[in-house]
Amino acid sequence: MEGCTKSVLWRYVMVLLFFSAILDTASSVTHYSIPEEMEEGSVVANLASDLGLDVTTLNNRQMRLDIRSNKKYLNVNKETGELYILEKMDREYLCSSKTTNCFIKMEVTMENPVRMFNIEIEIVDINDNAPQFWRDTIRLDISESTAAGERFSLSNAVDPDIGSNSIKTYYLSENEHFNIEVQTGRDGSKFADLILKKPLDREERASYNLILTAVDGGVPARSGTASIIVRVLDTNDNAPQFDKDSYTINLTENAPIGSLVVKLNASDKDEGSNSDLLYSYSLYTSEKTQQTFSLNPNNGEIRVKELINYEDFRIYDMEIIATDKGANSLTGKCKVKILITDMNDNHPEISIRSVTSPVKEDVAVNTVIAVVSVSDKDSGENGQVDIHISADLPFALKESSDNYYELLVSEPLDREKLPEYDITITVTDRGNPPLSDNETITLELLDVNDNVPQFPQTFYTIPVMENNAPGASLSSITAVDPDLHENQYLVYFIIEKEIANTSMSMLFSINPENGNLYALKTFDYEIEKDFLFHIEARDSGVPPLSSNVTVHIIIMDQNDNTPLIVSPWRAQGSEVKETIPRSTDKGTLIAKVIAIDSDSVHNSRITYQFLQNTDATLFSLDQYNGEIRTMRMFSYRDSRDQRLVVIAKDNGEPALSATVTIKLSTVETALKTYTEVPLEYDIFSDLNLYLVIGLGSVSFLLLITILVTIVLKCQKAKPSKAAPPSRNSVISERNSTIADSTLVSNDAYWYSLFLAETRKGKLVVRQPVPKGARYIVSSIPRSTGLTETSDSAASTLQVRNSVSIIRERFA
């Protein structure tokens, strides 16, 4: 039983060891060490054997070698499983010379099943590099007065190999005056100091040629040499001295390149070469200073080497060394401080931020449009700046903080006056001469509805000829709005107004888009003479704005009414018959033709002419008042019947006319007196009826005219003028009565008074009066008596009881 337990435990331990070996194989790194510079094809090791791989399965399992971060210097022979050199390896190239260990890490990958192995190749250094000095010749000048024990630094040698293969020590060729002491640096490098063991005597020996040998610790050892040339100089026991220990120089910036800054002077009491001096910058002089200023090593002149900018450097400090040319040169030092004086060579700078554009034209005053910052790299007054904008702009600058300004709206803006502003901001420094800069801000204004539409005229008077065609265009009444877009789109309306229960929109219409005005009906001057109404223009802004204009339509008269002959009266198409005595005197008024025209002004002015005259030497016709008078007395040769045709023509274009035919019959005896003839009144005749209607109408118009005239001229009432005396009148006796009648005439040339006769009435014709008078004439029944004038050639009948005539004249 005990033996069985031990057997089981042993097997368990073996299994654990087996798995541990497998895990160790998968996770461990295979390490190889090879020397550098192995020849190509050299076998490093049998990798298959070391890894426990079957050589015959390497190809099938696609064995692959990957090198990390390096060129592929090694490869695996898949036939033999050997790891061999593919290309020579230089440790100094692959790894830093300071690195102690140099490794190449690789991975071996197997497929089917996948297995990976880490390989590490250590490149072992070999002594393949000899020590080498930076300079082959080391020159030293040692004065003969140098004391023993003085040390002189020598250039050290370098060896890229490491460890024991690096530099181990230095050797100096045999001599009695010099020795070396090998020093070890902190990094393990070796360098040698030359030590003067015994004072030199230039007269005994002027120079020494020493060989310094550097030897590494490799096997076999490698070495490198450098020549040390020691020149023994004459004793130089006087150091150079400058005139002053320090110099302070003021230099203006932008000084021309090559201009002299200062000429330094140092002196040496020695003679010969020991007194010849060289000037140089010390190590304490910055590279920037040496780049800016040049130092002449022979004469100590310091000149400007490149452009000097005060804003970059304001003070330059330098230390100048004067070194004599003795064998053992001595030096003297001085300090130079160059203070740069500022010039006004920098223009002020403007930076515009937070620009608000566009803005509405109704933007509030003191609104910030932009923030402006200014700067100037100069100093003092050269760096102090003044900022301003044009005084005629509605903007202002307000300082908000140091060198920051706010551009504000200082006055109300109006896009219609100026839709865009170019605001030029100018900044000027206080230097001499001053420098300036400017920036321009373009500010665009957005429109708001702040303008009422405007008509070019406040009152429109539009003449319209009567008898116009309905729908005819009368005029175009347009307004303008300086706003933009919908704020300037105008709509036109007629403001409603009723005239005699007729809406104005029934008489006229207006195009709402372009303001064209049209008449909707035909007008008659004799009925409608003018119209007065308003037109409104309204824009489309929010809220809308509007304005209106007064329009006065004046109806112009046309010559569309034919003159109407009202005296002498006759039936339609009949002749007028008159009887006159043959004893009628020359110049006697035989008849008067009166015509009226309902047109106005020149269209109603009537002239009279004979269209037919039996005897042109017997009768004359006044072309203005229509009076027919005798030009001579009748003779026995003249015919008893005279036929006169008179045409009454108006002054229109074309002229219209009417005619009347008067048949005159002459008698030998005088007429009986009116006292003997009873008057008969036919009040129911057609003529009387017409005259009564006309009288009533004219009387009503007369009353209205009088009332209006009194109201208008109550302050300046003019006295009425007496009627001019009548000339001779001819009264033809008819066996009838005379009816009352009234006639109103506006003609500027004449007025007429007549009593319209009936078949048995009497006709009284009055002489015309001056132009411009207006008369209202009424007739009343005459008295029955007539007187006969016996002194004339033919008796003239006059009305004994005169007809009362009422007359008014208006200025």
Domains of the chain: 29-124 (2.60.40.60), 132-233 (2.60.40.60), 241-341 (2.60.40.60), 349-446 (2.60.40.60), 459-556 (2.60.40.60), 558-669 (2.60.40.60), 673-811 (no CATH)
- Please tell me the distance from the alpha carbon of residue 162 to that of residue 125, in angstroms, as a whole number: 7
User: Sign of dihedral through CA atoms 744, 748, 754, 756?
Assistant: negative
pLDDT at res. 692 = 79
Q: What is the mean pLDDT of residues 162-188?
A: 85
pLDDT at res. 463 = 93
Highest mean pLDDT among 25-39, 480-494, 554-568, 682-696: 480-494
- pTM of the predicted structure, to 2 decimals: 0.42
Q: Which percentage of the chain shows pLDDT scores above 90? A: 21
- Given a contact cutoff of 8 angstroms between Cβ atoms, the answer to whether 74 and 104 are in contact is yes
pLDDT at res. 567 = 81
CA angle 291, 296, 301 (to 5 degrees): 100
Q: What is the pLDDT of residues 591-607, one digit of tens each?
A: 898 988 888 877 888 99
Residue 501 pLDDT class (50, 70, 90 cuts): low
Report the chain's mean pLDDT, rounded to a whole number: 78
- Nearest CA to 804 out of 785, 779, 783 is that of 779
- Please tell me the distance from the alpha carbon of residue 763 to that of residue 706, in angstroms, as a whole number: 28
pLDDT at 733 over 50: no
> Residue 495: CB partners within 8 Å, gap ≥ 6?
504, 533, 534, 535, 536, 548
Residue 573 pLDDT class (50, 70, 90 cuts): low
Residue 485 pLDDT class (50, 70, 90 cuts): confident
Residue 572 pLDDT class (50, 70, 90 cuts): low
pLDDT at 525 over 90: no
pLDDT at res. 745 = 36
Q: What is the pLDDT of residues 638-678, one digit of tens each?
A: 888 888 889 889 888 888 888 888 888 888 765 443 333 34
Q: What is the pLDDT of residues 248-270, one digit of tens each?
A: 999 998 899 999 999 999 998 77
Residue 765 pLDDT class (50, 70, 90 cuts): very low
Residue 571 pLDDT class (50, 70, 90 cuts): low
Write 253-257 long-range contacts (CB < 8 A, 24+).
253/308, 253/309, 253/310, 253/340, 253/341, 253/342, 253/343, 253/345, 254/307, 254/308, 254/309, 254/343, 254/345, 255/304, 255/308, 256/304, 257/304, 257/305, 257/306, 257/307
Q: Which residues pair with 436 in a beta bridge?
A: 428
pLDDT at res. 16 = 41
- Nearest CA to 553 out of 578, 583, 528, 527 is that of 528
Q: What is the pLDDT of residues 193-213, one digit of tens each?
A: 899 999 887 778 888 999 999
pLDDT at res. 462 = 93
Outline where 46-161 has alpha helix (H).
47-51, 91-94
Q: Maximum Cα–Cα distance for the chain, whole Å?
A: 209
